[in-house]
Structure 1
Amino acid sequence: MVLQADIPAPLAAFVDKIGNLLTVQLFALGAGISVYEGISHIADPSPIENITVNYLVLALSALFEGASWWLALATFRTVKGDLSYWDAIRRSKDPPSFIVLLEDSAALIGISIAALGIYLTDRLAASRRETA
């Protein structure tokens, strides 16, 4: 029994291209809003209103990224064998095995930097309020 495709190949390619286009536009919109918000907060700084929510979101992000990182590390350890991590990455024929690990590592570093930024913003703003 031969299964037929649900939609013809040219239409499937068109739908795929539209999906990719919408994805790029969504990320571009998010990046534009982030840049706008960053510039507006630099031009007119304001104190953090609810710091607990910020820390909660970062903690949940770190928890989920950490779980993904742990699984990626366990998987990569089985793939790398006796090689060092760097040699295993350079010789690997299976990029997803280490790309997920590197991406999750970068995400955890970014979460740590964001938490440090929120902490310093709160502490420095508190010291400015006390001296004023």
Structure 2
Amino acid sequence: MSAKYHSNYRKLNSSGDQISQYNRSDSDIVVIYYTSNNSPVLDEIKSDVNSLPQIFPPNVHFFEVNKSIGDNEMDPECSNINTVPAFKVFKDYQTFESPAYVVEDTSPINTLVSYINTLL
């Protein structure tokens, strides 16, 4: 199955790709945007989603994971996402072993910006 992507973020196409990004030893912030092939809401928020990297410093990294492809669902952080769009914000995962914030909402942008700002 081919993937339909909904952002200009770097794509993570396997569970190994995902864990290598959020399970970091530095203090950078990782935002993973969870999508699927078929969701009209994802198309509606695409321009807002694409604008996010421009408002944050370089130590905030944005990635997209399409739940419809590959072994993405095998990653424990991906497997418990029940709806899209969804975002997980990670910082110091090696210490806390969980995301700092989870946003599962059809209008996630303002909430996501607020959460990231609290971690900066």
TM-score by length of 2: 0.23
Task: Name the one with the larger strand percent.
Answer: 2
Kindly name which structure, 1 or 2, has the bigger radius of gyration based on alpha carbons: 1
Task: Name the one with the larger helix percent.
Answer: 1
